[in-house]
């Protein structure tokens, strides 16, 4: 019996989240293991983010312009596979160049996989919450297993595991039907998006929220500073990803009778409380326990924001819209990352959760503005309720 598109997307999303977990969760620790200091790690991470920005903007628009995702996705996965085999042998300027190229391709791959799933068909759109749930579970178990594995064997072989799962992703993706996008150069013009006031506000909200996620990325360093190991980093990530799943599985019921803005306000208040507790944490155990709040923070924001963007933008501009959001978000995150190393050296790692509080309050304020302008009487009951 042939697999449905929903099942295929679930399988691919699990695989994507396995190799993205390996990269995103351990790249900073990997760079530290190569002997780099905090400032150097911050600069390379900024290059990583900025390169990803260019990739998202260029490849997202290209997919809309050509009316395809799959024709670009297969070669991109192949490029990532080849690059990952070189990183383990790279140092110095070569390491920076390879990471920049990898980030240029990897960022749009993750973004386009999400767009592909949510807009492939009515069936995949309706089941998008379940697809994201499987993605979260893939990330959860990958973080738990790889965290312990890397503690035993070290991080020197990290990218060989990345390459293996990239190869499996490449093979699995070949079996998914391409997305159907009308080729329309006029309607795919990105300039039109900047005339869409609702989209512009969503973009700003998402960009500032990316700073919140960037802060969470640095929490691995805080955990190790408090006596934790890569195993504890993995356990924390496992808990965070695992508790997200119920939100995704229950996405339809969660959003049926609630405003988008109300859910986002709740999530950002939870983020503020989370960062306050993180600031006063004295043990890595406390940081692990804070991972349970992921269900009411990232889980809610991730699913609601995706539907917000999808509703505010026509189908012909979906990939470009997500690319612009990802690009602007990456620019802000890159700027923060480039100065984070200096801030840590000057003020200690406690500056990380403190900046998280500031960014969360900023997002909360923007969501309140969105609520007054666009979400006063609307519920999430349009496209996603097919």
Angle between the 230-249 and 298-312 helix axes, to the nearest 10 degrees? 50
Residue 291 sits at the vertex; the CA angle it makes with 289 and 295, to the nearest 5 degrees, is: 125
Pick the CATH number of 5-385 from 1.20.1250.20, 3.40.50.1370, 3.40.640.10, 3.10.129.10: 1.20.1250.20
The beta strands (E) that lie in 29-154 are given as none
Rounded Cα gap, residues 204 and 191, in angstroms: 16
The gap from C-alpha 24 to its chain's centroid, in whole angstroms, comes to 9
Contact 220, 232 (CB under 8 A): no
Rounded Cα gap, residues 22 and 234, in angstroms: 10
The tokens of 378 are what?
């609307």
Averaged pLDDT, 157-176? 91
Mean pLDDT score of the chain: 82
Per-residue pLDDT at 170: 93
Residues near 286 by Cβ (< 8 Å), separated by ≥ 6? 277
Does the pLDDT of residue 188 top 70, yes or no? no
State whether the Cα torsion 7-26-220-238 is positive or negative: positive
Averaged pLDDT, 10-27? 88
The tokens of 156 are what?
């020197």
Ramachandran region of residue 348, left (φ > 0), alpha (ψ -120 to 50) or beta? left
Averaged pLDDT, 72-98? 87
Averaged pLDDT, 223-251? 81
Does the pLDDT of residue 187 top 70, yes or no? no
Averaged pLDDT, 176-195? 69
Q: How confident is the model at residue 381 (pLDDT cuts 50, 70, 90)?
A: very low
10 Å Cβ neighbour count for 62? 18
The 8-class DSSP code of residue 253 comes to H
Averaged pLDDT, 347-353? 82
Rounded Cα gap, residues 334 and 217, in angstroms: 12
Per-residue pLDDT at 215: 83
């Amino acid at each position: 019996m042939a697999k449905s598109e929903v099942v295929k997307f679930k399988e691919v999303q699990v695989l994507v989240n396995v190799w993205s977990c390996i990269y995103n969760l351990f790249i900073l620790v990997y760079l530290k293991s190569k002997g780099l200091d905090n400032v150097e790690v911050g600069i390379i991470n900024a290059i990583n983010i900025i390169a990803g920005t260019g990739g998202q903007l260029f490849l997202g628009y290209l997919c809309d312009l050509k009316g395809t995702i799959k024709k670009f996705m297969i070669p991109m996965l192949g490029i990532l596979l080849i690059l990952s085999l070189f990183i383990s042998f790279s140092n110095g300027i070569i390491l920076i160049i390879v990471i920049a190229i990898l980030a240029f391709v990897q960022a749009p791959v993750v973004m386009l996989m999400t767009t592909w799933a949510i807009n492939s068909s009515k069936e995949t759109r309706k089941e998008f919450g379940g697809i994201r749930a499987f993605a979260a579970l893939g990330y959860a178990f990958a973080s738990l297993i790889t965290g312990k594995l890397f503690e035993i064997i070290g991080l020197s072989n990290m990218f060989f595991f990345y390459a293996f799962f990239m190869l499996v992703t490449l093979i699995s993706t070949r079996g998914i039907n391409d997305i159907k996008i009308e080729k329309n150069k006029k309607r795919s013009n990105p300039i039109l998006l900047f005339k869409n006031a609702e989209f512009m506000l969503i973009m700003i909200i998402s960009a500032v929220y990316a700073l919140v996620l960037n802060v969470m990325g640095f929490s691995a360093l805080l955990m190790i500073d408090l006596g934790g190991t890569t195993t504890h980093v993995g356990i924390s990530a496992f808990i965070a990803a695992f508790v997200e799943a119920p939100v995704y599985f229950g996405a339809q019921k969660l959003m049926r009778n609630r405003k988008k803005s109300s859910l986002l306000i709740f999530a950002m208040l939870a983020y503020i409380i989370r960062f306050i507790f993180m600031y006063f944490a004295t043990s890595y155990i406390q940081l692990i326990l804070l991972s349970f709040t992921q269900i009411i923070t990232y889980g809610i924001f991730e699913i609601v924001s995706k539907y917000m963007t999808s509703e505010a933008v026509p189908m012909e501009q979906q990939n470009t819209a997500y690319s612009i959001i990802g690009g602007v978000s990456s620019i802000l995150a890159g700027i923060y990352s480039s100065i984070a190393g200096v801030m840590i050296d000057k003020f200690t790692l406690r500056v990380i959760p403190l900046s998280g509080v500031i960014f969360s309050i900023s997002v909360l304020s923007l969501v309140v503005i969105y609520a007054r302008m666009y979400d006063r009487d609307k519920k999430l009951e349009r496209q996603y309720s097919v």
